[in-house]
Amino acid sequence: MDPLDVLTNIENTLPYYQAIFSADEHKIVGYEVLARIKQDDEIESLGAFFHDDAIPDEYRIEVDYAVLTKALNHILEQKEEFLIFINQNPNLLMNDHGESLLELLQYFETKGLSLNRVVLEITEHNFNGDIESLQHLLKYYQTYGIKVAIDNIGKESSNLDRIGLLSPDILKVDLHILRQTAMTQSYQDVLYSLSLLARKMGATLLYEDIEASYQLQYAWRNGGRYFQGFYLHKPSAELVDPFLLKDKLKNQFEMFIAHEKKKLQAIYELTESFEVKMQQLMSQCRKMEGYDEMLQYIASELSIACFRVYICDENGFQRSSNFLKKEHEWIAEPDYLHKNWSWRPYFLENIIRMNHEQRGILSDLYNDIETGENIRTFSYPIENGHYLFIDISYAFLYEKDAL
């Protein structure tokens, strides 16, 4: 599209609205305002226009504010109150330190718009200026009640330290790459880390680009409070009934809950089976001399389930060889003796838990450093501040529905 066609037909620009749904109320809680233009009875997106740095800043700002003005006028006519997500290029925003946008919003505030309904969306990795200047501007906006959302997290490289510095109220996580099966597991791990980051920051997670049921399930399972995408609602010129998908979402979330409960039950049963088995095995192990003999016996008894066993003390120092299964044979690896594993996440926390509860613990699913395989580890207290670690294979977990 020729930029001149946009500028000379600015009266034909119009806002479209894409609904954002909530997990807690199963209703529309907000809309993202998107820019469109009507040409020859066709509606076209203005996304390419706004992302074209060859177009002078003032022209892009003029078109942006024209669309935003139409949107806010329309929104003020509605009885329902909802969040209003507006996209802003942080580089353009810093041209006048955000004053023109704030003036526009304050003008609509005099007409009845509550600024705490406004969510300012920016894409952090597109910003070329001084990050601290942007931080100060966003903090300034937040003093007016305006919320800040960081957009497109997960779609391109994002600097987590910069995101933390900007202290957003909402993180918009892009699920587009989740559709590429070759990247699914590693990408899921990255997105899981983002969910932990949001929790630490006290930010709300909004998952966008949801185009299938399994993506909605993933978003729900990984801390999503808000959801957006073509699977739920395509952008439209009109606002829709806030309870448009209430029954559909309720039914889908109930299925997600049932699936998650089934998986958690499988994990609980697996933990209990290892607990019972270890109690039986330890009664035999008390007669044995040395940890290597004990591990050989345990490894042979649990050979179907595990591929590595070893013993550590309460400070994480390994007090035995590794016993590793290779091609159906168990091999001792004495080089691992005296290595320290206390640096691993949750290691010391789990030691304290086992001390307190005097029973075994099954870890979450994680990628093994050496094999690259998804595994779980069952940890079990044995004697004198020493603990047995049993690494369970992916194949066994898959068979037991404990992934």
Summarize pLDDT for 190-247 with one digit per residue, the tens.
777 788 888 888 999 999 999 999 999 989 998 999 999 999 999 999 999 999 999 9
* Residue 153 in this model has a pLDDT that exceeds 80: no
Q: Which residues pair with 308 in a beta bridge?
A: 324, 391
Q: Tell me the domains of the chain and their CATH numbers.
A: 3-232 (3.20.20.450), 259-399 (3.30.450.20)
Higher local confidence (pLDDT), 372 or 116: 116
pLDDT at 72: 98
Rounded Cα distance between 107 and 87, Å, is 18
pLDDT at 179: 67
Chain segment 283-332, per-residue pLDDT in tens = 888 777 788 899 999 999 999 999 999 999 999 999 999 999 998 899 99
- Give the 3-state secondary structure of residue 115: helix
With a CB cutoff of 8 Å and minimum separation 6, the contacts of 342 are 315, 316, 348
> Within a 10 A sphere around the Cβ of 239, how many other Cβ atoms?
16
Q: What is the pTM of this model?
A: 0.88
> What's the DSSP call for residue 212?
S
Helix residue spans in 122-245 (DSSP H) = 131-142, 160-166, 184-201, 213-221
